[in-house]
Copies of this chain bind each other. A is one copy, B any other.
């Protein structure tokens, strides 16, 4: 029986996942995490990982901008060797397996919708609360990319406050709950004890040890998230909202109070089920497998916005 290979090609670690069958939702037959190297090293890892197994196709995530049609990376801030490269085509040439590239946020969202907290629901909005904030609306398995590929920018809807966002607007959701911003908000609210360079986890630990400024920063963040949930509900009316990402890892400080506040503040809204993400750090690899299963043609405006590279050939040995 042939398998699909998912590669979540992250800046520090690369996760590989082998899933039985042709649809991407079969049993996981192997998984492995390795330190990230350039594409030649990745090819070597793939050869070792898949040795002796028939692999029909792979999907590989891209942490950066990706041209859907060509499969070429525009810019990858942390993996500059990918700039201007088609990682799927290069890897196909190196390992003899056809494959597709998919933007990492899209892969994660598609996996949560299909296999994680959104499984069985037709209409799912997924929010990833990380250093930045990503969103994707997935309906009937298709990511709604928008007319110019720009939909789902939930991190940049204006919620309030006076902080200039990296995007140039003032008051974006990301300025209040983005992982890179929480420490700064803490330091503003508690100049004596706050650390502007603190990670989301640091802020949570401070709040748990009773630091009032940290608690206030998290409360401000979860209030902002609640407002964003109501906006999403008003404009899109999804069936389920799923929230994951690093900032969601201590849900009682961020996501759970946001769900509660959104429920309290809702008026006309038909609030969807709101759930925590389930797939954790393997979501991106599962999404890469799903994009391999979809096997779209290059240039197809397919749901996973994946770019196919390499012609299908018999599975390499």
A195 interface residue (CB < 8 Å to B) = no
Q: Is the CB of B234 within 8 A of A147?
A: no
A235 and B268 contact, Cβ closer than 8 Å, known pairs A158-B227, A158-B230, A227-B158: no
Q: Is the CB of A146 within 8 A of B231?
A: no
Q: Is the CB of A235 within 8 A of B239?
A: no
Shortest Cβ distance from A176 into chain B, in angstroms? 14
Q: Is the CB of A272 within 8 A of B147?
A: yes
Q: Is the CB of B233 within 8 A of A270?
A: no
Q: Is the CB of B312 within 8 A of A146?
A: no
* Complex interface bits, A254-272 against B, C-beta within 8 A gives 1, otherwise 0: 0000000000010111101
Q: Is the CB of B233 within 8 A of A150?
A: yes
Chain B residues with CB under 8 A of A234: 150, 153-154, 156-157
Choose among B123, B267, B311, B314 the residue that contacts A168 (Cβ–Cβ < 8 A): B267
> Which B residue sits closest to A151, measured CB to CB?
B237
Q: Is the CB of A122 within 8 A of B151?
A: no
Name the interface residues of A145-166: CB closer than 8 Å to any CB of B: 145-154, 156-158, 160, 165
Rounded to whole angstroms, the CA-CA distance of A6 and B156 in the bound complex is: 41
Chain B residues with CB under 8 A of A238: 146-147
Interface SS of chain A: helix, strand, loop or mixed?
A: loop
* Complex interface bits, A97-131 against B, C-beta within 8 A gives 1, otherwise 0: 00000000000000000000000001100000000
Rounded to whole angstroms, the CA-CA distance of A150 and B267 in the bound complex is: 12
Count of A interface residues, CB-CB < 8 Å: 43
Rounded to whole angstroms, the CA-CA distance of A40 and B80 in the bound complex is: 72
Choose among B146, B168, B230, B237 the residue that contacts A237 (Cβ–Cβ < 8 A): B146
Q: Is the CB of A268 within 8 A of B151?
A: no
Chain B residues with CB under 8 A of A158: 227, 230-231
A268 and B148 contact, Cβ closer than 8 Å, known pairs A153-B235, A234-B156, A235-B235: no
Chain B residues with CB under 8 A of A156: 234, 267-269
A232 interface residue (CB < 8 Å to B) = yes
Rounded to whole angstroms, the CA-CA distance of A93 and B265 in the bound complex is: 45
Chain B residues with CB under 8 A of A1: none
Rounded to whole angstroms, the CA-CA distance of A153 and B144 in the bound complex is: 18
Residue from the set A147, A158, A168, A312 with the largest chain B CB neighbour count within 10 Å: A147
Interface CB pairs A-B, < 8 A, 29: A122-B147, A123-B146, A123-B147, A144-B236, A146-B237, A146-B270, A147-B238, A147-B239, A148-B270, A148-B272, A150-B237, A150-B269, A151-B237, A153-B234, A153-B237, A153-B268, A154-B234, A156-B267, A157-B235, A160-B160, A165-B267, A167-B267, A167-B268, A168-B267, A168-B268, A231-B231, A235-B235, A267-B314, A270-B311
Chain A contact residues, CB within 8 Å of chain B: 122-123, 135, 144-154, 156-158, 160, 165, 167-169, 227, 230-239, 265, 267-270, 272, 311-314
Q: A135-B235, A147-B238 are in contact. List 11 more A-B contacts (CB 8 A).
A: A146-B236, A153-B237, A153-B268, A154-B234, A154-B235, A157-B235, A158-B227, A167-B267, A168-B268, A231-B231, A236-B236
